């Protein structure tokens, strides 16, 4: 669909030789009914009555039933054809012609009265349907429905010039269209088109009054949307004032004035079809109305007269009106110390839901504390990276094994990691992902297309989708929001969604910031053009980094590609499969030209009009992956034009463009935003003023450092890491407090606390024992109270914990704090996990290296400590912070390493049964470790018992399921037992 042309900033009056052609629908001249029209209507009625009723009546009276009254026989066919037979055959033909004409009349009447679409075509009708159309049109021309007849009917009897209809072109989406509400689209379409006419006289006097002058003031009527495209003040100013930035003048002239539908203009972006806009005196163009005007309908003229009387409107009358750009919100709950009460009513996701402190941030980066979705994405991606590094480290180890301890962050990296732990809202990400995919699955089940979504709002736990235009009733459990363009899902309903195997419908959603306790996610993929971002370079870079990091790690996108140009080369470490960096704009344009051609061809071949329909079809997982371009540097004029051309059709293809600019003036920019030095994201034409979500340079570098340190390919031959805390395993090192975490949770050396706080104290101690490097107070609070807690409740718990743990012999508390304020435990407070790490470290890197006997004793003692998984009996609903940890991956690997080392120790002396016993003990904690199974095969082979080896192979094959044995295991069996396949078949 073509894009609407707009005049240049220096454009002259419409119609001039250099002015662009105005593609807005032209005014329709209303033709008054004459006496001849009534005569035509009467004659048409008589003709229709004669043809539809008279013909069958005459045939029934004069000829009667033309067909035989019984089944014809062969004798009947051999009879002589008489005049009566010929008349009967002719009568049948006339009956068929009458039936066809009657069908044409019914089709034409239905189309004329409904006013929807062109009349259906009756097969073989031809001239018969044309005659029916003319008669029906003549009859209905004088009726009340004449104004709503279909295009084919309304043009009868009139020249093309007399019924001129403007070119149907998709308007270029401009900033004001995001929150335009076309609620009365169908009803006001004809009136809105009819209300646009030629220009008029001077503006109001210098005193600022806007009352209409007779023959003076110019008006514009907002036109209805065409598809997903809407009119906007920016485009109106561009066409009729020569400069889109003069939209503010139109806004000031019309602000707070009552519109024909009773609402008022309160934001520059909030305009609706059918609204009337008073224009500045120098406005020009063929769409303006100068009153009085003879070529508009009486209804429109009356509306403009009524609107003109509102010129002396009072300022501030809109204070009670609602902003349609924001969803209606439920009251946010107060943060309390009761965990279960908070779970029932989640907090607003735009605030720091983990602490209501109004004081210091304890040195943590506030930018990440207030970005729950970004923090959750980064934290989840970091956890996956660290697990991958652990497994690669374990599988790639040869000889002396490297430790299972990832490096402990320090300095800024440690602060950023703590901020991620405090700020992350993984439940919010999970619910958002499931809700969007569930919506797509429900619409696909109903054979409905996905609506175009411009934005999503998260407000007090509820999800609001803001549609480009009304899309009917949403599927259950979704419901309509404050109007037809909002679909809303409560958090309670969202929690009922399960994982579904469907493509992510809106992967281009990304957090931009908060506004009135609501978090905005803008769908960059749906923008019909470029989104420009102006402001200082450092501020732009912080917003670009936030957008890139969230898009690269979020949970509601599939197979996302983010292209970075002019910044962020280091950010590719966050997600090498999603992020790519290009050196310059030339490479970008070349890449995007090729991809644009490919996507257009793919959509055409698949028969889809956009990626939204493609994502719900059979090709959803192969062809419709989103691609977002983030260009931080302002392009040159020539390059900007090329980008604008590429972006013209981008929203249909699933491609989005966010481009930085120094001047704020970027050709082809559909939406314009500005980031201020105070962290505000401004988009006046969108009606937005957000507290921007940013990732400043210092935090960006620290985040990248966390990911680089966790890179599994980094320094593969590096030295073995040392555990962060080593225990004195001699008799003199007996601890004062000993906690058993590996298996069921037990504490030795402390009395069990009384009351309901016992569970909280146990959970807090477990967190501290798993982080001997120290735990930030806010991290502790967010772990124990994910829904939020006040400072006094948190501080009271720490005091109780300090009192419970007691003091050392010298009087110092066993719960202290380091120089950064992080909570630390004294060395006399020890867990079995600390002892386990220390025993393995001493056996493989300490005294056990030089003494075989010491190594065997230490490894045996270590394996005895393993009683099951970590915190095996933890209560349901608690210890949810373990999902952020990688201890669930580190502990099985550590136990497997101990089992492997002890097995090797026994096999050195040909003690195969002892080796098998050690491996089986390790397998109880690490049943999926391929290394243990392979070593068990070797130890079993050492027993010289082929039947036992065949039985083990059969057991392994049964465990592997449909995937079969891993390649390394199959190769080992081929080496140890070449006939294992026949033996397994016999055993089975």
Q: Kindly state the percentage of the chain with pLDDT values over 90.
A: 31
Question: What is the CB neighbour count within 10 angstroms for residue 552?
Answer: 25
| Comparison of pLDDT for 326 and 604, the residue scoring more | 604
Evaluate whether 640 touches 647 at the Cβ level (below 8 Å).
no
Spatial CA neighbour of 903 closest among 948, 933, 927: 933
pLDDT band at 174 (very low <50, low <70, confident <90, very high): very low
Spatial CA neighbour of 373 closest among 442, 438, 436: 436
Distances (CA, A) of 71 to 81, 82, 573, 862, 869: 18, 19, 86, 100, 87
Distances (CA, A) of 182 to 224, 229, 238, 574: 7, 11, 21, 41
| Comparison of pLDDT for 113 and 377, the residue scoring more | 377
Across 428-437, 709-718, 932-941, least confident range: 709-718
Sign of the alpha-carbon dihedral angle for 239, 243, 248, 254: negative
949-976: average pLDDT: 85
> Would the pLDDT of 480 be above 60?
yes
pLDDT, tens digit (0-9, with 9 covering 90-100), for 640-698? 888 888 888 788 888 999 999 987 778 878 888 999 999 999 987 777 889 999 999 99
Structure-block tokens of residue 370: 């207030």
pLDDT band at 72 (very low <50, low <70, confident <90, very high): low
pLDDT, tens digit (0-9, with 9 covering 90-100), for 752-771? 887 778 899 999 999 999 99
Please, which residues bridge with residue 290 across strands? 218
Spatial CA neighbour of 838 closest among 390, 392, 405: 405
The whole-number pLDDT of residue 203 equals 36
Q: Kindly state the percentage of the chain with pLDDT values over 70.
A: 74
859-882: average pLDDT: 89
Measured at the CA of 377, the angle between CA 526 and CA 396, to 5 degrees, comes to: 125
Across 66-80, 227-241, 469-483, least confident range: 66-80
Which helix (H) or strand (E) element contains residue 816?
strand 815-817
Across 315-329, 356-370, 732-746, least confident range: 315-329
The whole-number pLDDT of residue 167 equals 29
Q: How far apart are CA 32 and CA 18, in angstroms?
A: 37
The whole-number pLDDT of residue 654 equals 84
The string of DSSP letters for 862-907 reads: HHHH--SSBTTTPPTTS-GGGGG-SHHHHHHHHHHHHHHHHHHHHH
Across 513-522, 622-631, 798-807, 916-925, least confident range: 622-631
Helix axis angle, 930-941 relative to 372-396, nearest 10°?
A: 20
Across 71-85, 384-398, 522-536, 917-931, least confident range: 71-85
Bridge-based pairing state of the strands 737-740 and 746-748: antiparallel
Sign of the alpha-carbon dihedral angle for 865, 866, 867, 873: positive
Structure-block tokens of residue 780: 């502790």
Q: How far apart are CA 745 and CA 743, in angstroms?
A: 6
* Residue 740 DSSP class: E
Evaluate whether 508 touches 526 at the Cβ level (below 8 Å).
yes
Mean pLDDT, all residues of the chain: 76
- Contacts with 44 (C-beta within 8 Å, 6 or more apart), sequence order: 134, 135, 136, 138, 139
**CA count, 13 A, side-chain hemisphere, 392:** 15
The whole-number pLDDT of residue 826 equals 94
| Comparison of pLDDT for 394 and 419, the residue scoring more | 419
Cis peptide before 533 (omega within 30 of 0): no
The whole-number pLDDT of residue 234 equals 80
Cis peptide before 292 (omega within 30 of 0): yes
Spatial CA neighbour of 482 closest among 177, 189, 179, 232: 179
Evaluate whether 580 touches 573 at the Cβ level (below 8 Å).
no
> Would the pLDDT of 959 be above 80?
yes
pLDDT, tens digit (0-9, with 9 covering 90-100), for 963-976? 778 888 889 988 88
pLDDT, tens digit (0-9, with 9 covering 90-100), for 344-364? 323 333 333 333 333 334 578
Bridge-based pairing state of the strands 579-582 and 561-565: parallel
| 433: Cα separation from own chain's centroid | 8
- Contacts with 280 (C-beta within 8 Å, 6 or more apart), sequence order: 203, 218, 241, 246, 249, 250, 253
Only one residue has tokens 């371009």, namely: 629
The whole-number pLDDT of residue 113 equals 63
Spatial CA neighbour of 287 closest among 204, 213, 221: 221
| Comparison of pLDDT for 39 and 300, the residue scoring more | 39
458-482: average pLDDT: 90
| Comparison of pLDDT for 163 and 870, the residue scoring more | 870
Q: How far apart are CA 366 and CA 364, in angstroms?
A: 6
E strand intervals along 268-417: 276-279, 289-290
pLDDT band at 193 (very low <50, low <70, confident <90, very high): very low
The whole-number pLDDT of residue 358 equals 32
Only one residue has tokens 């201890």, namely: 887
pLDDT, tens digit (0-9, with 9 covering 90-100), for 378-396? 999 999 888 888 777 766 6
> Would the pLDDT of 13 be above 50?
no
Q: How far apart are CA 673 and CA 620, in angstroms?
A: 32
Residue 442's φ and ψ, nearest 5 degrees, are: -65, -45
Across 555-559, 581-585, 783-787, least confident range: 555-559
The whole-number pLDDT of residue 71 equals 62
- Contacts with 816 (C-beta within 8 Å, 6 or more apart), sequence order: 823, 824, 825, 826
Helix axis angle, 83-114 relative to 55-62, nearest 10°?
A: 160
Q: How far apart are CA 656 and CA 629, in angstroms?
A: 6
Spatial CA neighbour of 173 closest among 447, 478, 530: 530
> Would the pLDDT of 264 be above 80?
no
The whole-number pLDDT of residue 12 equals 39
Residues in the chain: 988
pLDDT, tens digit (0-9, with 9 covering 90-100), for 820-832? 889 999 999 999 9
| Phi-psi group of 472: left, alpha or beta (phi > 0 → left; psi -120 to 50 → alpha; rest → beta) | left
857-862: average pLDDT: 94
Please, which residues bridge with residue 533 across strands? 660, 673
The whole-number pLDDT of residue 6 equals 36
| Comparison of pLDDT for 553 and 272, the residue scoring more | 553
> Would the pLDDT of 905 be above 90?
yes
The whole-number pLDDT of residue 386 equals 87
3-class secondary-structure state, position 984: helix
Q: How far apart are CA 491 and CA 434, in angstroms?
A: 11
Give the best-scoring range by mean pLDDT among 132-146, 532-546, 951-965: 532-546
**CA count, 13 A, side-chain hemisphere, 781:** 28
The whole-number pLDDT of residue 175 equals 32
Please, which residues bridge with residue 631 across strands? 565, 659
The whole-number pLDDT of residue 387 equals 84
pLDDT, tens digit (0-9, with 9 covering 90-100), for 108-153? 777 666 544 446 667 777 777 778 877 877 776 655 333 333 333 2
Residue 563's φ and ψ, nearest 5 degrees, are: -100, 125
The string of DSSP letters for 88-154 reads: HHHHHHHHHHHHHHHHHHHHHHHHHHH--SPPPPPTT-THHHHHHHHHHHHHHTTSTTGGG--HHHH
> Would the pLDDT of 18 be above 50?
no
567-583: average pLDDT: 90
């Amino acid at each position: 669909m073509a894009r609407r042309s707009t005049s240049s900033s220096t454009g002259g009056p419409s119609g001039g030789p250099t002015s662009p052609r105005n593609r807005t629908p032209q005014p329709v001249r209303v033709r008054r009914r004459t006496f001849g029209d009534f005569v035509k209507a009467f004659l048409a009625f008589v003709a229709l009555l004669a043809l539809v009723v008279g013909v069958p009546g005459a045939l029934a009276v004069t000829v009667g039933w033309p067909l035989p009254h019984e089944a014809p026989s062969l004798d009947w066919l051999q009879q002589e054809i008489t005049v009566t037979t010929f008349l009967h055959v002719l009568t049948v033909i006339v009956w068929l012609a009458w039936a066809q004409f009657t069908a044409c009349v019914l089709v034409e009447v239905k189309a004329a009265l409904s006013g929807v679409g062109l009349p259906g075509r009756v097969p073989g009708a031809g001239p018969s349907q044309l005659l029916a159309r003319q008669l029906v049109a003549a009859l209905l021309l004088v009726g009340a429905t004449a104004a709503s007849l279909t295009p084919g009917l309304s043009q009868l009897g009139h020249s093309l010039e007399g019924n001129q209809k403007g070119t149907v072109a998709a308007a270029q989406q401009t900033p004001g269209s995001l929150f335009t509400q076309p609620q009365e689209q169908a009803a006001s379409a004809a009136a809105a088109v009819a209300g646009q006419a030629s220009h008029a006289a001077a503006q109001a006097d210098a005193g600022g009054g806007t009352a209409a002058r007779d023959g003076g003031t110019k008006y514009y009527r907002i036109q209805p949307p065409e598809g997903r495209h809407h009119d906007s003040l920016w485009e109106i100013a561009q066409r009729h004032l020569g400069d889109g930035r003069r939209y503010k003048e139109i806004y000031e002239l019309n602000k707070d004035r009552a519109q024909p539908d009773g609402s008022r203009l309160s934001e520059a972006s909030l305009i609706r079809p059918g609204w009337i806009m008073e224009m500045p005196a120098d406005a020009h163009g063929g769409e303006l109305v100068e009153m009085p005007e003879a070529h508009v309908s009486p209804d429109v003229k009356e509306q403009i007269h009524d609107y003109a009387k509102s010129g002396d409107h009072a300022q501030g009358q809109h204070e009670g009106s609602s902003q349609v750009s924001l969803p209606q919100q439920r009251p946010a709950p107060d943060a309390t110390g009761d965990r279960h009460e908070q779970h029932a009513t989640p907090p607003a996701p735009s605030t720091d839901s983990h602490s209501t402190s109004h004081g210091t941030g304890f040195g943590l980066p506030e930018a990440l504390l207030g970005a729950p979705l970004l923090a959750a994405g980064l934290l989840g991606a970091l956890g996956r990276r660290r697990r991958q590094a652990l497994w690669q480290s374990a599988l790639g180890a040869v000889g002396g094994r490297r430790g299972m301890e990832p490096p402990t962050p320090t300095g800024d990296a440690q602060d950023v990691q703590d901020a991620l732990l405090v700020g992350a809202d993984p439940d919010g990400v999970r619910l958002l992902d499931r809700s969007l995919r569930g919506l797509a699955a429900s619409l696909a089940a109903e054979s409905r297309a996905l609506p175009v979504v411009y934005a999503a709002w998260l407000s007090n736990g509820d999800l609001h989708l803001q549609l480009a235009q009304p899309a009917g009733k949403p599927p259950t459990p979704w419901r309509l929001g404050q109007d037809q363009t909002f679909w809303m899902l409560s958090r309670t309903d969202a929690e009922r969604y399960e994982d579904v195997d469907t493509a992510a419908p809106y992967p281009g959603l990304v957090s931009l910031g908060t506004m009135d306790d609501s978090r905005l996610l803008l769908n960059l993929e749906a923008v019909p053009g470029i989104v420009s971002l102006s402001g200082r370079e450092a501020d732009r870079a912080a917003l670009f980094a936030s957008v890139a990091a969230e898009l690269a790690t979020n949970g509601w996108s599939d197979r996302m590609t983010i292209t970075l140009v002019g910044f962020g080369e280091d950010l590719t470490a966050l997600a090498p499969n999603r992020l790519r960096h290009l050196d310059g704009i030339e490479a970008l344009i070349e890449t995007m030209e090729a991809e644009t051609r490919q996507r257009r061809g793919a959509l055409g071949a698949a028969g889809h009009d956009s990626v939204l329909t493609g994502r719900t079809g059979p090709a959803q997982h192969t062809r419709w992956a989103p691609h977002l371009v983030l260009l931080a540097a302002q392009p040159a004029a020539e390059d900007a034009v090329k980008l604008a051309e590429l972006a013209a059709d981008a929203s249909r293809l699933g491609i989005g463009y966010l481009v930085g600019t120094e001047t704020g003036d970027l050709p082809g920019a559909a939406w314009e935003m500005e980031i201020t030095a105070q962290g505000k994201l401004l988009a006046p034409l969108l009606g937005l003023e957000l507290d921007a979500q940013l990732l400043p340079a210092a935090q960006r570098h620290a985040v990248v450092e966390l990911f680089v340190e966790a890179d599994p390919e980094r320094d593969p031959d590096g030295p073995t890491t040392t555990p962060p805390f080593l225990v004195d395993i001699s008799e003199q090192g007996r601890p004062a407090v000993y906690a058993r975490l590996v298996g069921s949770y037990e504490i030795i050396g402390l009395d069990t606390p009384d009351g309901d706080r016992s569970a909280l104290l146990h959970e807090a101690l477990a967190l501290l024992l798993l982080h001997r490097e120290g735990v930030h107070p806010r991290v502790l609070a967010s772990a124990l109270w994910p829904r939020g807690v006040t400072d006094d409740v948190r501080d009271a718990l720490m005091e109780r914990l300090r009192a419970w743990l007691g003091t050392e012999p010298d009087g110092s508390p066993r719960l202290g704090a380091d120089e950064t304020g992080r909570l630390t435990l004294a060395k006399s407070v020890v867990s079995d996990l600390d002892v386990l790490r220390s025993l393995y470290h001493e056996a493989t890197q300490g005294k056990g290296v030089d003494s075989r006997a010491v190594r065997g004793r230490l490894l045996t003692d270590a394996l005895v400590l393993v009683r099951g998984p970590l915190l095996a009996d933890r209560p349901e609903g608690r210890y949810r912070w373990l999902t952020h940890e990688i201890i669930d991956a580190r502990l099985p690997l550590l136990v497997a390493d101990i089992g492997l080392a002890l097995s090797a120790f026994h096999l050195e002396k040909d003690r195969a049964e002892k080796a098998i016993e050690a491996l089986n003990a390790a397998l109880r904690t690490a049943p999926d470790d391929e290394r243990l199974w392979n070593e068990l095969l070797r130890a079993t082979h050492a027993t010289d018992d082929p039947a036992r080896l065949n039985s083990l192979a059969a057991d392994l094959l049964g465990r592997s399921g449909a995937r079969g044995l891993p390649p390394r295991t199959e190769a080992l069996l081929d080496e140890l037992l070449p006939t294992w396949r026949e033996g397994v078949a016999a055993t089975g």
